[in-house]
Amino acid sequence: MRMISLGLLFRRPLLQRPVATATLLAAAFSLGLFSPAMAAFPIVTYHQPLGVTRGGEATVVLHGDRLSDAREVLFDQPGIEVLECKPIDNKSVELKVKTEATLSPGMYSFRVVTASGATNLRFLSVGTMPTVDEVEPNNDFASPQEIAMNHTVEGNVDREDVDCYRVSLKAGQKLTVEIEGIRHRWSLNNRDILDPYIAILDEKRFEVAVSDDSMLFQQDGVCSYTPEEDGQYTILVRDSSFLGQRNICRYRLHVGSFPRPTTVIPSGGVQGEVLKAKLIDIDGTITDATVQLPTDLITAKNSAASPTQPYPVITEDASGISPSPNWIRVGNLPIVTEVEPNNDHRNAPECTVPALLCGVIGEPGDFDCFAFNCKKGEKYLVKLYARETLRSPLDGVMNVFDDNGKTIKSSDDSGGKLDGFFDFTAASDSKHTIRIYDHLRGGSPLHNYLIEVSRLEPSFSIDLKELRRDEAMIVPVPVGGNGAMMVQVKRDQFNEEISLALEGLPEGVTAQTFPIPAGRVEIPVVFTAAADAKITGAFFDILGEGKRGDEVVSADLQQYHKIVLGQNRRAMLEHSTPKAVMAVCDAMPFTIELVQPKTPVLRRGSKELVVRIERNEGFENAVYLKTLYNPPGVGVNNSRKIDKGQTEVHIPITANQNAAMGTWPMVMQVSYGTKLGTQTVATAPIMLDVEDSVFDFKFPRAAAETGSETPLSITMEKIRDIKGEMEVQLVGLPNGVTCDAASQKVTLESTTVTFPLKIAADAKTGLHKTLNVQTRISRDGETMIQTNGTGEIRIDKPVVKKTPAAEPEKKAAPPQPKTDAPPKPLSRLEQLRQEKESS
């Protein structure tokens, strides 16, 4: 066995399944305000080349839309220096980069910052082998493009396109082919998705190795072949369905004898330690490997995070360097490696938990079991990592048994993923056992897994809410104005208040944060850029902290990105970044204010919010308004706009009877047309008070006739005290019903209010359930409105009483003559008796 080293790719657990696309955001502004307008957010649809060779300078041309005001490019990971970012036109940008000579190969995510915002997430590949471009025509097996071994080819798959490349091999010389195809797409509409198919063909045109999908790279394939004699071999590349798109469906094809491990065993380690592992290569060879694991992967600021995190490693030996990493998990849990025999859950080897359990379902029908002692009441969280991190073929099923062999919990798939999880609480001081096996009873040396067994603790996670469908939030903040975002948390047994703090804001930008109330899952954050702030971009982090008694629970941001969506909008590729991007953008051509109300909105009530605008000279466009979010139980009319010539608009809001009482921040998203499309920024926040209703009303069942008058007495009961002048108004009267005193003054001591009703002669009859009482409370120049209903009134036509007519005198009927009743017929038995007596 030869020794090789594994090097780290990124310092943070970033790209597990990358890639990006071209969709013009014409899905138009998911706020739903402008169907015909184009959002002003810039996009990058593809770039050429897709990657660079490390240790030098390179020029990359980014293609997309709304890029004429590009200012800079931000890379999430270190090691790539941006030398120049120069717009060519509105659809392309020239980017010059310099990469470190020791930079690990892989895909590095970036965003372009413009004067109107920042682009979608894209990936630049960094490799170690020289790059050659595809040269057409190369569709014919008989006349392929000749390439040398240990090179990376950049090409494109057009519709019904087949690309052929030929290499010369010596006997025993390994040929490995790995393609980056779907990993370089970004498709949120399930269009033009490159699903590559690769094959190695011998001189007789027989396929000696093929790969459509692969366990390691999903839709991207990898295959290998070692010939027994010298010869020429052809590598074929096409879309699996013979689809494709010019310039859009681009790929990088790695061709060489480089190592390509598919499995790392064990697949986890303790941070700060040296991992000693065995690598199983795609050709089946096994090598020993060592790697120094990082010391700072698990940090104190994210106490609520999983105790292990994904970590990428790169393999390097005398034959070359793997073009992309394998993924393991590293953390602060001790490692427990399976010990055979361990098939029987009633007699499993014992270990101590919390721990990271490592093993392999080595053959079909294999079971692996781990036993450990628990104290009564201890709570544990059990997570499987196989497909999702390790890219193992294992479709794992887990069970946990008590000391009597009874199943406590089981897990197969979870949340659409093949890796399951569950939690359990020990019912007694006893031994418990975890068992794992493959769902289809498969197994092989490649079926590796990790089972993370940790204490079940209160926790939460932080992400940014999508404001445009399926697109990760990018925050634009105009110079001298405001931008806003929604922070959302996912809670797990932690329902306390969470405070927020932000790190990494651009110079001149401040943030106004609000605590996330207990039991709630989202809250806005508002940013303000100073009038002298520079147009730039920056990565920022969000730190959340809550307390449960003396215990502090914390978490930081992990932003989720959808990269490629397949059928039913399910993510085929996704990505997570530890920070989000903010772009300080051009100033608004106006100033705008959401006016702070002086009075609250009442439960079962309504009021109007006022938005005022002061336009710069020359700006006359309409400005559209929509709330960033609504407090619980509060509804807002989000169809309002400030038209040309107007300086303000009133926006109706309502609060239902269960609206969450308290003080809530409210922010308006402000959208307006620019030369690049629709820009969306925000107002400064207001604080909206939501208070309880003041009165409760009980309606009688009223009835009246047309053409009459009737009093309607409604009972009222005070719920709470409030200051202000009060009156109640009866609304919702049916057609033909009027009231001369529909509005009446009341006080907190009032117990009834009576409305005199007049019913017209032609009023519509029937039962009318339309009556409502509005309570109007005036204070500080504003009116609070509370609406109660529904009361009912039945309207009938008058009953006309008719005088009965005299009935004619009735003559007595003559008596009926009496007749003898007919004799009763004899039964058959009586007839026989009479016959016998007479004989």
| 405 and 473 both lie in a single domain | no
| 436 and 409 both lie in a single domain | yes
Instruction: Provide the pLDDT for residue 541.
Output: 96
Q: Which helix (H) or strand (E) holds 754?
A: strand 752-759
| Type of residue at 583 | A
| 89 and 232 both lie in a single domain | no
175 part of a folded domain: yes
Sign of torsion over alpha carbons 98, 101, 104, 106: positive
User: Do 489 and 516 form a contact (C-beta atoms < 8 A)?
Assistant: yes
Instruction: Provide the pLDDT for residue 812.
Output: 67
Q: How many domains does the chain have?
A: 6
805 part of a folded domain: no
Instruction: Provide the pLDDT for residue 806.
Output: 65
| 314 and 419 both lie in a single domain | yes
| 425 and 291 both lie in a single domain | yes
188 part of a folded domain: yes
**What is the side-by-side strand order in the sheet with 162-169?**
145-146, 162-169, 231-239, 196-201, 207-211
**Residues 595, 685: Cα–Cα separation, whole Å:** 9
User: Do 12 and 578 form a contact (C-beta atoms < 8 A)?
Assistant: yes
Output the CA angle 356-357-359, nearest 5 degrees.
140
- CA nearest neighbour of 224 among 184, 280, 144: 280
pTM: 0.86
| 275 and 423 both lie in a single domain | yes
828 part of a folded domain: no
CATH assignment of the domain containing 116: 2.60.40.10
**Residue reference for tokens 């445009």:** 468
Beta bridge partners of 106: 126
CATH assignment of the domain containing 149: 2.60.120.380
| 411 and 331 both lie in a single domain | yes
Instruction: Provide the pLDDT for residue 817.
Output: 63
Pairing assessment for the beta strands 175-180 and 162-169 based on DSSP bridges: unpaired
200 vs 175, 219, 539, CA distance in Å? 9, 17, 43
| 231 and 338 both lie in a single domain | no
- Encoding tokens for residue 817? 């003559």
11 part of a folded domain: no
824 part of a folded domain: no
144 vs 168, 247, 810, CA distance in Å? 12, 21, 121
321 vs 221, 508, 643, 661, CA distance in Å? 18, 44, 61, 61
Beta bridge partners of 643: none
| 485 and 412 both lie in a single domain | no
Q: Provide the residue range defining the domain that includes 209.
A: 131-257
839 vs 204, 500, 827, 828, 829, CA distance in Å? 122, 120, 19, 17, 16
**Residues 676, 697: Cα–Cα separation, whole Å:** 54
Residue-level length of the chain: 839
Residue that finishes a domain, picked among 100, 127, 154: 127
Instruction: Provide the pLDDT for residue 502.
Output: 97
**Residues 587, 176: Cα–Cα separation, whole Å:** 53
| Type of residue at 98 | K
1 part of a folded domain: no
| Type of residue at 459 | S
**Residue 11 CB partners (closer than 8 Å, separation 6+):** 77, 78, 294, 296
| 546 and 560 both lie in a single domain | yes
- Spell out, as residue ranges, where the chain has pLDDT lower than 50: 1-38
Residue that finishes a domain, picked among 219, 235, 257: 257
| 485 and 433 both lie in a single domain | no
- CA nearest neighbour of 666 among 624, 638, 694: 638
Residue that finishes a domain, picked among 676, 691, 706: 691
33 part of a folded domain: no
| 321 and 366 both lie in a single domain | yes
Q: How far apart are the first and last CA of the chain?
A: 129
Instruction: Provide the pLDDT for residue 535.
Output: 96
